[in-house]
Amino acid sequence: MNQTNSAPSVARPLRRDHYFTPVTGLSFFNARDHGTYLLAGEDSELKIYDIEGRLRGQLKIFRAQSIHGIHIRAGKEDGQQRRQVLLWGNQAVTVIPASVVEDLILADGKADGHSVPLDVVEARAPDWIYDGAISPEDPGRGALVMAHNEVLEFSIGDDDRTLEFGRIVSPSRPILYSANLTWISKTSVLVAGGTVFGEIVVWKCHFSGDAAESENKPWSEVYFVFSGHEGSIFGVDISPEIDIGEGGKARLLASCSDDRTIRIWDITERPEAPRLQYGAFGEARETGFGGAAAAAAAAAADLTATQVASSAPLAMAMGHISRIWHVRFPQALGELASHSATTVYSFGEDSTLQTWSLEIDVGQWRRKSLTPAAADEVQVGATITHKETYARHDGKHIWATALTQAAGGEVVVATGGADSKINLLSERSRAVHSDISQVKGLPSELRTLVMRDVICNLPTRNPDFATPSEVNEAFHRFTFISRTALLATSTIGRLLVGTFGAELTWSEVGTDAETLQALRACTSVKSPAPGVALLGTSSKKVFLYKDSAIRQVGTVPGKIADIFCLGGALGTSKLDFLVTVLAGEEAPQMLTLDLETSAVTSMVPVPELDSRFVVTAACQMDDLLILGSRHGYMSVFRRTDGQLDTLAAPDKRTNDAITSINPVSASSPSSTAPRIITTSRDGNYRIYELSPSSASSSPLCLRHETAPAAALNLEDAWFAGTDLVLCGFRSKNFIVWNETRHEELLRIDCGGAHRAFAHTPQDSSDECGLRFVYKKAGALGIFVQPHASVAVAHHRTLKRGSHGREVRAVAYSGRRYIASGAEDTAIRIWEYVAISESESSRRELRCVNVVKVHTAGLQSLKWLGEDLLFSCSGNEEFMVWRSSDLGGAAGLGLMREAVFADRSADGDLRITSFDVERLEDGAAAITMAFSNSFVKTYRYTPDNGFELLFQGQYTGACLTQARHLRVREGVFDVVTAATDGCLAVWRSAGVEYALQNTVRVHQSSIKALDLHAPSAGRAVVLTGGDDNALGITTLASLAADGGSGFVPVARAGVRKAHAAAINGLTVLGAKGAGGEVVFATASNDQRVKAWRLRWREGVEEVTLVADEYSGVADAGDIEVIGGGKLVVGGVGLEVWDWSGVGGY
């Protein structure tokens, strides 16, 4: 059946403006301009991105179905041959001319961000489609493989838009979870199907020479049935044909499963191998059960007669931490024939891309492929080993993949995830092009360097300097003195400089005997400026390295424990640094060094510092000295008239070491307050604003506090342009994390955090990447990350995404910010802003902050003004966040101000919903609904926290919603909803809530609720239920002065309002005190609907005014934002324009 989908000619009341949905289809497209573009299936639309991430155009493909696969017919880009784009999803399938995509690319995205009108002829296959391809030799013919191991032939009309289905061919009909097909001639395709029960069926389908010849019946023959996987097969990939020499041609098959293994199979056609041309494989092949003896015998006979292979795979490896969804070969495997390794790519539920090295003994493989099947079996040696893991997506699932290979051998891998993000991995290990031939000469791998190897290659020593003893010499202390130079000391006092280039070269800094002896006890090496280093020793001496020479510049009262560089005034040669001494000896000293004269001009002791205060980080901002300690304390001092005065310290926020304190880059012109950023081993980074202090308050005011999703023991933070970059350790790995883009930049296995290490910050504008050095057993481990243009592997984000799990709560601050909370336990703060100054009419959700502190999925979010955000989740977690605009690179600050502590003994309840309201005294009243049927109201203030005001218990059913009806003179009227389908009205009395009324509205759980209050004594409660219905309940207070509670006075509803549960409901607007109300609903049926509620002679009248398909599955919430927009959250986020509803 064909159905034409065309763009609507009239405006709709609801129009989708912007969305984040899972990326479910990807394919590279080579255009006439010789550029490479990426086609992405996002919901029902096809989007076209250039390699820089710009959206060049988008097309509406299906009416109400997401795109699951994209195939581009191989053909010439010059337009001399017909080229089509085949797209499918579920049972829907269509084809469009490639010229349509070309025209959009040439138009360069001038369609205002909306889908270009296109008449798409949508056909419907008889079963779920797993893969499809158009014949490379016949542009009018194609084939689809479907969920029951069937191949469906189709022909393409001359207009390159219409499809006509032919016959269905299948050797057997087991249920498949994956399939792949490839054309091997003009009339035949090779098919691999992975079954639910862990088998892989490889077979050929032969068509007639002419698609119009109906008398020539298509037929099939089975080549292999592989078993061995211990779970369903989720991915199969047929390799291109490989020339293995001596006229031999071979193919491989890769498979992956929920047993977390990747297996490589040989599917080469061997001489004299009989095939099954008719019939089936018996009951076991169809259902996975072969209980009947006759069926089992038939299955065994089939296997014997056809010699279907059930041998072991060529190679197998286990990877990922959960199910593996896809496995892919590169487009060419010529290196296997030349006895080199090739790369295999796998993609998993754990949202990682992993690369594997596959090696095969080609000589044995050639002999086997040329040996008749009846002869003795030749064993082929093959191995597959893990290379790298790339974790660049959030949450779970990589759903879409695509690979392309440039002429020079560079492989580009695209991944699309459930988080709506698209990433590109460029791997140049196969590249031979001259522009990147220097790749293999770079020290880009982690290598280990021992002192003996360095000494052997040192230049001849100057005889005027002392000669160190080389007995048991090892590396001791080290630091980077520039992005390309490393200064290191050895255990016998030798001072070395390593310079990074094509290779790492070392030179020795000459020292006299006294300096050599002092450096044997070097305790700290720090670099305050390029080419300069300060060295401290346990002999109380401070040395300066400058201009390739070292000299002593001072002494301090105690044995030096560490040195902290504090910087100096810009444009001067003065340099401040802090020297700490071993505990119990003397106070830390703040020294000022004149770099021109190499002399210490002042030394000031740090006063009133407890002996237990072990300094681990220090920073100087203007006249303030800020110190961080091993146990999380901070101290602040002001430098005046040559001495340090103690100021009030900020509140302690952690018991773990503060590992770095750095100034934040310059803020926007409108913000003049300086700021610092601190990192801690508790995994949190914090941003403080420096403000004038009083005798009782600290000059450091906490503005932001959160932990990155990477869950690191943080060691440092810096800004690369406008991006905040963090680094630290997790398990055995050193990880660099871009917090602004929310992605991992680098991962190095170095053994863990309990090692001396040094690194250079990563800056995208620099020609050098990050360099990381660490010490292990006296040796140096060195990692150099080359620049992206010459890196062997380079990862970048093509399109930013959203949550990696289902969004369960959305809240609007009323003016600027949108908060979303999801099952991934993260809260994201968004702005809905113009894409750019040149495209002010197009707007997008731009993430300005991510916090991940909750330990269970979010249940509800609410703003109170622009500065207070409240969040709740499972495990009885309720948190209060204070936001502030930090300006500049720091962006939005979000500080966790309070955590709810009035928990039950087990602490395992869910706070399912809450409502918040500002009281007259400035405090916040918070009413919470608990899963144990309790409703509680608290008074919250920053100083006193949560004070319980009232509580009440319902029947025992789980409460799902809670709203304030009225708060007046200390009396609270509250309405709750529960899983029994009832609304309950409560009124406070003393310290308890008294249950006033209950009314049954739904047959089962109430999932969504919103209020419309036309007057102070009347409230209309709108509800959506698990029974797919809408409920309308009118509550009224009978006493005009509010002296009595609310009682239900009217009830109405709409049965079958949706085809599934209604999970989100929000009031859009209202007219007059007793006029009509417009509200919107979102449901699991993936429809967004707008309704109008009127009262005609006191009787409710509900009208459906809009009904649109939504790309957000499993909708969890819906919220009105400014400018006539609303947001739907679920598996993704959507912004809808509802201004077409009119008049509100």
Give the pTM.
0.89
Provide the CB-side half-sphere exposure for 224 (13 A, CA): 25
**Greatest extent of the chain over all pairs of C-alpha atoms, in Å:** 109
pLDDT for position 473: 86
Residue of 355, 360, 422, 359 whose CA lies nearest to 394: 422
Report residue 308's pLDDT band, with 50, 70 and 90 as the boundaries.
very low
Beta strand 700-706 with 685-690 is: antiparallel
pLDDT for position 1074: 66
pLDDT for position 807: 97
**Residue at token pair 């949905």:** 21
Q: Give the span between the Cα atoms of 208 and 188, in whole angstroms.
A: 9
The pLDDT tens digits of the residues spanning 405-434 come to 887 778 999 999 999 999 999 887 655 443
Q: Give the span between the Cα atoms of 6 and 123, in whole angstroms.
A: 14
Specify the 3-state DSSP secondary structure of 449.
Answer: strand
Residue scoring higher pLDDT (247 or 920):
920
Residue type for 206, please? H
Residue type for 384, please? I
Q: Is the pLDDT of residue 918 over 60?
A: yes
Give the residue-averaged pLDDT of 647-663.
94
Report residue 669's pLDDT band, with 50, 70 and 90 as the boundaries.
very low
Give the residue-averaged pLDDT of 787-808.
83
Give the residue-averaged pLDDT of 834-859.
85
Report the length, in residues, of the chain.
Answer: 1144
Rounded to 5 degrees, φ, ψ at 1033 are -125, 125
- Distances, alpha carbon 1089 to alpha carbons 572, 750, 1106, in Å: 66, 54, 5
Q: Is the pLDDT of residue 379 over 90?
A: no
Give the residue-averaged pLDDT of 746-773.
80
The pLDDT tens digits of the residues spanning 670-703 come to 456 889 999 999 999 999 998 876 667 889 999 9
Q: Is the pLDDT of residue 776 over 90?
A: no
The pLDDT tens digits of the residues spanning 72-106 come to 987 655 555 789 999 999 999 999 999 999 999 98
Residue of 1089, 1063, 1137 whose CA lies nearest to 807: 1063
> DSSP character for 114?
S
Handedness of CA 19, 23, 25, 31 (dihedral sign): positive
Q: Is the pLDDT of residue 442 over 60?
A: no
Specify the 3-state DSSP secondary structure of 408.
Answer: coil
Q: Give the span between the Cα atoms of 676 and 628, in whole angstroms.
A: 12
Rounded to 5 degrees, φ, ψ at 351 are 65, 25
Q: Where does residue 158 fall: left (phi above 0), alpha (psi -120 to 50 degrees), or beta otherwise?
A: alpha
The arrangement of strands across the sheet holding 382-390 comes to: 324-328, 342-348, 353-360, 382-390
Q: Is the pLDDT of residue 10 over 80?
A: no
CA angle centred on 137, ends 132 and 138, rounded to 5°: 75
Whole-number percent of the chain with pLDDT over 90: 62
The pLDDT tens digits of the residues spanning 1026-1035 come to 999 999 999 9
Q: Give the span between the Cα atoms of 864 and 445, in whole angstroms.
A: 51
Q: Give the span between the Cα atoms of 659 and 824, in whole angstroms.
A: 28
pLDDT for position 448: 81
Q: Is the pLDDT of residue 1106 over 90?
A: yes
Lowest mean pLDDT among 551-555, 759-763, 1002-1006: 759-763
Q: Give the span between the Cα atoms of 532 and 551, in whole angstroms.
A: 12
1043 Cβ contact list (under 8 Å, min separation 6): none
Q: Where does residue 1086 fall: left (phi above 0), alpha (psi -120 to 50 degrees), or beta otherwise?
A: left
Q: Is the pLDDT of residue 983 over 50?
A: yes
Q: Is the pLDDT of residue 67 over 90?
A: yes
Does residue 526 contact residue 564 with C-beta atoms inside 8 Å?
yes
**806 token code pair:** 């289902």
Q: Give the span between the Cα atoms of 941 and 919, in whole angstroms.
A: 11
* DSSP string of 1022-1086, one letter each residue: EEEETTS-EEEEEEEESSTTS-S-EEEEEEEEETTSSSS-EEEEEEEEE-TTTS-EEEEEEETTS
**745 token code pair:** 């930049």
Beta strand 176-185 with 92-97 is: unpaired
Does residue 447 contact residue 61 with C-beta atoms inside 8 Å?
no
Q: Is the pLDDT of residue 497 over 60?
A: yes
The pLDDT tens digits of the residues spanning 266-288 come to 998 876 665 655 444 544 456 55
Does residue 552 contact residue 542 with C-beta atoms inside 8 Å?
yes
Point out which residues pair with 987 in neighbouring strands: 973, 994
Residue of 961, 956, 1005, 1000 whose CA lies nearest to 982: 1000
Does residue 1142 contact residue 1069 with C-beta atoms inside 8 Å?
no
**474 token code pair:** 């090892």
Does residue 703 contact residue 895 with C-beta atoms inside 8 Å?
yes
pLDDT for position 2: 64
Residue of 49, 30, 51 whose CA lies nearest to 40: 49
Q: Is the pLDDT of residue 436 over 80?
A: no
Q: Is the pLDDT of residue 595 over 60?
A: yes
Q: Give the span between the Cα atoms of 910 and 113, in whole angstroms.
A: 41
Strand segments, DSSP code E, in 239-319 are 242-245, 248-250, 252-257, 261-266, 315-318
Specify the 3-state DSSP secondary structure of 447.
Answer: strand
Q: Give the span between the Cα atoms of 1022 and 1051, in whole angstroms.
A: 10
Q: Give the span between the Cα atoms of 430 and 793, in whole angstroms.
A: 11
Strand segments, DSSP code E, in 472-559 are 475-482, 485-490, 495-500, 504-509, 522-529, 532-537, 541-546, 549-555
Does residue 899 contact residue 708 with C-beta atoms inside 8 Å?
no
Report residue 842's pLDDT band, with 50, 70 and 90 as the boundaries.
confident
Residue scoring higher pLDDT (130 or 409):
130
**174 token code pair:** 């087991």
Does residue 399 contact residue 423 with C-beta atoms inside 8 Å?
no
Q: Is the pLDDT of residue 441 over 50?
A: no
Rounded to 5 degrees, φ, ψ at 493 are 95, 0
pLDDT for position 304: 47
Q: Is the pLDDT of residue 480 over 90?
A: yes
Lowest mean pLDDT among 85-94, 134-143, 661-670, 815-824: 661-670
Residue type for 897, please? E
Q: Give the span between the Cα atoms of 1025 and 777, in whole angstroms.
A: 64
pLDDT for position 777: 80
Mean pLDDT of the chain: 87
Q: Is the pLDDT of residue 534 over 90?
A: yes
**324 token code pair:** 């593996």
pLDDT for position 440: 38
> DSSP character for 81?
S
Q: Give the span between the Cα atoms of 336 and 341, in whole angstroms.
A: 6
Q: Give the span between the Cα atoms of 690 and 39, in whole angstroms.
A: 48
Whole-number percent of the chain with pLDDT over 70: 86
**1025 token code pair:** 């239920």
Point out which residues pair with 1079 in neighbouring strands: 1067, 1091
Q: Is the pLDDT of residue 291 over 50?
A: no
CA 1112 to mean position of chain CA atoms: 18
Q: Residue 374 CB: number of other CB atoms within 10 A?
A: 11
